[in-house]
Each structure stands twice: as C-alpha cells, then as structure tokens.
Structure 1
Amino acid sequence: MKKKPVIFCDFDGTVTESDNIIAIMKQFAPKEWIAIKDDILGQRISIRDGVAQLFQLLHSSQKEEIITYILKNIRFRKGFKEFVSWTEEMRIPLWIVSGGIDFFVYPSLKGLVQPEKIYCNRSDFTGERIEIIWPHTCDHRCQKDCGCCKVTILRQFDSTEIHRIVIGDSITDLQAAKMADQVFARDFLIEKCEEQQIPYYPFETFHDIRFALEQEEVFQLI
C-alpha cells in the first residue's frame, strides 16, 4: 500500500514571516519577556510554562489593541496562498499545527484554511491578565510539557498509512521533526536538526517546499 502524504505545518515564523507571539511581546510587554523567551529557546523551561508566563505579563484590557496590532502586521511567507491551493488541487491534507493563539491564528487563516484543520492554543481575557488555554496537551508518552503538543497530534494519524511531512522553524517543531518522514526547516529548527542529525530540507518560501515535494516519488504517484 502506497502511503498518503499528509502535511503538518507550523504557523508562527513558518506560514508567517515572523513569530507573532514575539511581535506581541516586543510591542506590548515589559522587558521581562526577553529572559522568558531565552529560557524557552534554551529549553530551561517548558514551552507551555514559558508561553503562559509571557502572556501573564499582559493586561486583558489590552485585548483589542493587541488583536488590531497583530492582524494589521501579519505577513504571510511568500508562496503560502498558492501552496494551500496546490494541496487542495492535489488532495493532500494540510493541517496547521501551531503553538500560536486562537485570537490571531483563526482570523489570519480565514478563507484559506478551515478551522477544523487548525490546531492551536486558546485565550481567556476575562481575568486581569491574559490566560492561555491548552486544548492539545501532551499525552502520557510526551513529558516535554509542550502546550500544543505536536507529537501527540501526529500520533493521532496512522504512521503506517501516511507519509508525515513536517514544516517548521523553531524549538516548538523539534519533537515533531524527530518523528516525521520528511522535514522542511528554517531558522532555529535547522540548527536543532543539524545538532541532532535529523535529515531536513531548508526553505525560505513555500515555492521551495512545493518544488521539492513535486520531485518526490510519493507525490508523483498521486
């Protein structure tokens, strides 16, 4: 049986040109956010703890200002919209698997990716500070406290039937890259893949990814 390709794509810094959580922190958070960010990237604290701490720096009263700012400034990586259309034409499932937050992920992808094809974290603005809700936490086999656990999500798909393609850029994509059949990486994820000897294809645009995939036998047989 030929395996069916399925794409699992990160959002922040991958679909978009920059990380939207970092953009929010730069614009609205006190300087304490920098040390928290460094602890996340250095794997001294879990992603879930780190992101929760970052948003606790922000007042819920800033909600509308934050949403307006981030949606105004989001920029898609070159070729993404065409890539989505291509996956639809080829009938290749495309899942957005993001450590980002619902208030900017869903509206950014409206009209491009159906909500049921998006995994991301959620937000609660009812308290004094912004609280992050975690609907996709780690299963019993993952001890990384990921927040949005990408390996747990990937395990919901039968690896004997699908060719798992992971596209990402950061530490949040590392564990998924370890279990993928094919990895497309940029930025910090390249550094981690090289460090841990995970095979990968580098990319700068989604045109690069599409071109590489079209050369693969698994796609030529579709």
Structure 2
Amino acid sequence: MKNKKPILIQSDFDNTITIGNVSEQIHDKFGPANWDTIYQNYRSGKISVEESNIYSFQFLNFTEKQLNEFVCNNVKFRKGFKQFYDFILNKKIDYKIVSSGVDFYIKSSLKSIGIDCNSVPIYSGISQFVNDGIEIKYIDPFGNPISSEFKNSFTEYHKDNYSKIIYLGDSLTDLNSSLKSDYVFATSKLYDYYVNNNLDCFYFDSYEDVLAKINELID
C-alpha cells in the first residue's frame, strides 16, 4: 500500500483567495476587443475556462510590468487570508494553490501582501510574454498539455498521495475537484450548488470563517 501524506489543503485562487476574479478584472481593463465574445463562449459552456484564457491572453499586447502594476493596485483579498496562510505555514500543513488562472498575476497578487511565492506551490496557466501578446499553456501533473479540467487533474493526482484533502473553491470549475475531496469550503456559485443538491460543505466568506473550522479538520 502506498504511504500517503496525511493532509492537503488545495485551493482555487480567483474569488476564493481574492474578492472577485483577477483575470476578468485584467480583461475588463485591457481587452482584448473580442473579450466579450470569448467570455460569453466560456459562460455558455462552448469553451473551457482554460481555453478562454489561452484565446484571450494571446491578444493582450501589454508588458508584464504594466499588468502587474494594475494587479497590485487593484487586487483585494478575502479578510483574514494572510493570517490563514501564516497559520498553515506555521503548522507545516501542505497547501497548494491550483488555479485555472495564470501564474504572473497570481504571483504578483501574493507578493503584494508579502507572501513569498517560493513558499507555496502554485499550479496554474504558465505565461510567456511574446511580441504581440501572452502565450498561455496548461500542464497536468504528469507533464502533458491540457485544455480543460486542469484543477481536477491535480485533485485526482493528490488523491493518490494524501489521505485527506480539504478543498476551497467558489465556482462550478471547482465542482469536480470538490466532489473528490474529503471536506469542502465553498462560497458563491459552488456553495449554491452544494446547497441546491443537499451536499455537505462549509460556507465561507472570509478566512476567519475557515480558520474557525480548520483546527477541527486537521486533528
């Protein structure tokens, strides 16, 4: 039998750690011109969230510095997140951010509140700034390109390596990952889904809510 680690907290980023979706805020500010069409195709299920980022970021002809400055000036975190992060760091609990968002703005956001991005594993879209846009690619835990169910691919991988998974998410892109997890902290549309389908989860609005419950789950 495989020797598993005891516990992992896997967390989404946009609107889970932050208030609002940073990727959408970037696109609302910087475009591209066809952003509304791409966004509606994603919302209607015609393309995945990963595909929407691959398609839209390729048209953003701005420097990394310009975008990071916007992120740092506008990102807002859910109350208590830094305290929560310090808590799990001190407790030496494995914590991983797995997001269908993009690395540059996730790292820029975390740095803005003093978090060393080398101290937390971050799995997300990988960005490369090129002459006329930003190339985005998603790689699964085994090194293969992937264009949908990015977060779920990591949850399935983590299930083989951890005895217990605690999941934090906000949207239906978190659904499959959350259903595979042992405990779920949900907000926004993910919480609505759990309530409407009589599924157990813990609601959270702030990370004070999470901290109030997390001690019971890690014992």
Smaller-chain TM-score bracket: 0.7 to 0.9
Distance 1:123 1:112, change over 3 A: same
Task: Quote the Cα distance in structure 1 between the aligned partners of 2:43 and 2:181.
Answer: 21
Distance 1:184 1:106, change over 3 A: same
Task: Quote the Cα distance in structure 2 between the aligned partners of 1:156 and 1:73.
Answer: 34
1:199 positional shift:
2.5
Q: State whether structure 2 residue 115 is matched by structure 1 residue 112.
A: yes
1:178 positional shift:
1.6
Deviation per residue, 1:49-69 (Å, 9 max, x gap): 21112213322x444322211
Report which stretch shifted further, 76-85 or 120-129: 120-129
Q: How does 1:26-37 map to 2 (within 5 A)?
A: 26-30=28-32, 32-37=34-39
Task: Quote the Cα distance in structure 2 between the aligned partners of 1:114 and 1:52.
Answer: 23
Are the aligned partners of 1:37 and 1:50 in contact in 2 as well (CA < 8 Å)?
Answer: yes
Distance 1:2 1:208, change over 3 A: farther
Name stretches of at least 5 consecutive residues in structure 1 with no aligned partner.
Answer: none
- Counterpart code for 1:21: S
**Of 7, 13, 24, the match for 1:11:** 13
**Length-normalised TM-score, structure 2:** 0.84
Are the aligned partners of 1:139 and 1:152 in contact in 2 as well (CA < 8 Å)?
Answer: no
- Counterpart code for 1:98: S
Secondary structure at the counterpart of residue 158 of structure 2: coil
Q: Corresponding residue for 2:48?
A: 46
1:25 positional shift:
0.8
Q: How does 1:94-113 map to 2 (within 5 A)?
A: 94-110=95-111, 111-112=114-115
- Counterpart code for 1:112: I
- Counterpart code for 1:105: I
Secondary structure at the counterpart of residue 155 of structure 1: helix
- Counterpart code for 1:39: N
Task: Please report the RMSD computed on the Cα atoms of aligned residues, expressed in angstroms.
Answer: 2.8
Task: Quote the Cα distance in structure 2 between the aligned partners of 1:134 and 1:188.
Answer: 24
Are the aligned partners of 2:185 and 2:204 in contact in 1 as well (CA < 8 Å)?
Answer: yes
Distance 1:185 1:130, change over 3 A: same
- How many residues align? The count is 213
Task: Quote the Cα distance in structure 1 between the aligned partners of 2:130 and 2:162.
Answer: 43
**Length-normalised TM-score, structure 1:** 0.83
1:85 positional shift:
1.3
Q: Corresponding residue for 2:187?
A: 186
Q: What fraction of aligned residue pairs are identical, expressed as a percent? A: 28
Q: State whether structure 2 residue 70 is matched by structure 1 residue 92.
A: no
Deviation per residue, 1:37-81 (Å, 9 max, x gap): 23323322122221112213322x444322211122112210001
Are the aligned partners of 2:68 and 2:108 in contact in 1 as well (CA < 8 Å)?
Answer: no
Are the aligned partners of 1:121 and 1:136 in contact in 2 as well (CA < 8 Å)?
Answer: no
Are the aligned partners of 1:183 and 1:200 in contact in 2 as well (CA < 8 Å)?
Answer: yes
Q: Corresponding residue for 1:126?
A: 130
1:2 positional shift:
11
1:160 positional shift:
7.7
Secondary structure at the counterpart of residue 204 of structure 1: coil
Name stretches of at least 5 consecutive residues in structure 2 with no aligned partner.
Answer: none
Q: How does 1:117-156 map to 2 (within 5 A)?
A: 117-136=121-140, 145-146=147-148, 149-156=150-157
